[in-house]
Amino acid sequence: MTTLAKHHTKIPAASAPLISEFAALITQGLECWAKAGEVVVALIDEHGLTVPEIAGSSSCLTEAIVGRFESLGRKQILPRLLVADYPAADHMIKLPYSEQARLQDGTVELLIITESGTETLQVAPENLTPAQCRQVFDRGAVRSLAAQRAFIESRNEADRAKGKVMSSLPVYSVRGRKVIINHPCELSARQLASILSEIQ
């Protein structure tokens, strides 16, 4: 089993204090966001206000923003996921809070199928591609390796079905002085000459 860990860059010593300050400020900001979320929850639960009422109290607030802060305050979303810009973050937000926390600094199992068999990789969520995210995540859950295999086979079957539909079409068709290639194909010099004769 191969592990693909998070990538860390070596920082010059002279820049280290500023990097530390930057990271500390981000951490403080996220802590403030979590506290702001707790305030939203208190306004709703203890003061009887609604999300639209809270949003309407300030020109810089929208219902979507207040709703996100309510989710933070109710510990439904990990604060760091709100500023994450990797594809898996959108999927992780839909997971239970405990799973978000586990995966934030952990890895997920990714099934790779090759001609020689299968391999399992341990991949940090931030390193997953969009296609891998579709394989690993299923709405509010992380797929098991068996479920990932089923997903891959289902996708392959759909691709094969598309290929069969495409292959039932002629390779090309001619409309006036235009040639429409109906699906990926290889054309010989003789076929190209034939196409040219049809459009002349």
Per-residue buried b or exposed e for 78-106, using 16+ beta carbons within 10 Å of the residue's own CB = bbbbeebebbbbebbbebeeebbbebbee
Count CB atoms within 10 A of the CB of residue 126: 16
Q: What is the pLDDT of residues 107-166, one digit of tens each?
A: 999 999 887 888 999 999 999 999 999 999 998 899 999 999 999 999 888 777 766 555
Note the pLDDT of residue 4.
55
CA–CA distance from 89 to each of 85, 109, 126 (Å)?
A: 7, 16, 8
Q: Report the alpha-carbon distance of residue 66 to residue 44 in Å, rounded.
A: 11
Q: What is the pLDDT of residues 37-87, one digit of tens each?
A: 999 999 999 999 999 999 999 888 999 999 999 999 999 999 999 889 999
Count CB atoms within 10 A of the CB of residue 123: 22
Per-residue 3-state assignment (H helix, E strand, C coil) for 31-47: HHHHHHHHHHHHHHHCC
Q: What is the pLDDT of residues 85-102, one digit of tens each?
A: 999 999 999 999 999 999
Q: Provide the H-helix boundaries in the chain.
A: 16-45, 51-56, 63-73, 87-92, 97-104, 130-136, 145-167, 189-199
Contacts of 143 (CB under 8 A, 6+ apart): 135, 136, 137, 151
Dmax (CA) of the chain:
80
CA–CA distance from 73 to each of 19, 42, 88 (Å)?
A: 28, 9, 22
For residue 147, give the 3-state DSSP assignment. helix
Q: Report the alpha-carbon distance of residue 126 to residue 140 in Å, rounded.
A: 18
Q: What is the pLDDT of residues 1-10, one digit of tens each?
A: 655 555 566 7
